[in-house]
Amino acid sequence: TRFISFTGSRDVGLRINQRASVLNDGQIWIKRVIAEMGGKDTIVVDKEADLELAAQSIVKSAFGFSGQKCSACSRAVIVEDVYDTVVNRVIELTNTLTVGDPSDFNNYMATVIDQAAFNKVTEYIEIGKGEGRLVAGGTADDSVGYFIQPTVFADVEPSARIMKEEIFGPVVAITKAKDFDQAIDIANDTEYGLTGAVITNNRMNQEKAREDFHVGNLYFNRGCTGAIVGYQPFGGFNMSGTDSKAGGPDYLQLHMQAKTTSEML
C-alpha cells in the first residue's frame, strides 16, 4: 500500500500515520497519508454582530445531523456585551427543535448512529452538568432508538472538558469572552483546527480573525459547517489532520507522483 486516504477520528488517524511510517520488507517507497480527523469547532460572536444570525448559526451548526459532523459547532465564544442576549436566543431556538423519526420531515433531528455513540455523548452530558449550566436538553432515551435531545451548556470555563474534547453529538458548550481578542484566543485553545466561524460587522475584527483564527476552513457571518464542494476546499490543521484540502485544485496531485523529464535537442 503506497497511499492511504482516511476520514475518521483523531486516534485512528494517528494510528494509521504511525503504522504508515514503519518500513516493511520489500518496501521501496514512503507511504503517503491524507488524514481528515476530528474537530472542536467554534463560532465566535462579536459585540458588533447580527445577534439573530449568531444564534441561528450556533443552533443549526451544532444540531444539524444530530451534531455528528467533524465540522459541527461544539463551542461558542460570545463577547460579554452580547452574551446574555445570544444565549437566551440559542435556548429559545433549541427548545423549538423536534427530535424523532427521520422519515417524518417535521422532525429536525433523529438519532445518533449507534449505542457506542449514544453512550459517549450521554457521558459527556453528565460531565457537562458538572462543568457548566445546563440550559437546554440534557436528556436521552435509547428505548426505541438512540435519541438525544439537543443540549446546550452555558457559562462553561474555557478549560472544561466539554470545551476541549470532541463529543460528536448534539451538545454545544458556550463561554464568555471579555473582548474579541480574548474570544479568538479561546477559540484557538484546542488541539484541533478544522472549522470556525466569526459573526461580526466589524471589518477590522474580521481581518484579525482571518490572520489569527487557526482553522483550515473559516467562515464569516454564517455557520461553521456545510462547506460547498468545489468552492470551499475542506481540511484542517493540527489534530484535525493533514490539511490536504479535499476539493481543492491541488488535491488530485496528492494522489499522483510527479516526474520531470528533460530532452537535449
> What whole-number distance in Å separates Cα of residue 124 and Cα of residue 167?
7
Q: Is 157 a catalytic residue?
A: no
Residue 64's Cβ-side half-sphere holds a number of Cα atoms within 13 Å equal to 15
> What whole-number distance in Å separates Cα of residue 45 and Cα of residue 118?
30
Which entry of 36, 52, 207, 211 is annotated as an active-site residue?
36
Q: Cα-Cα-Cα-Cα dihedral of 213, 217, 223, 228, to 10°?
A: 160
Q: Cα-Cα-Cα-Cα dihedral of 203, 205, 206, 210, to 10°?
A: 140
Residue 47's Cβ-side half-sphere holds a number of Cα atoms within 13 Å equal to 10
Q: Collapse the DSSP code of 182 into the 3-class scheme (helix H, G, I; strand E, B; otherwise coil) and give the result.
A: helix
Question: How many CB atoms lie under 10 A from the CB of residue 28?
Answer: 6
Start-to-end Cα distance in the chain:
39
Question: How many CB atoms lie under 10 A from the CB of residue 71?
Answer: 26
Q: How many residues does the chain have?
A: 265
Q: What is the DSSP letter of 90?
A: H
Active-site positions read 36
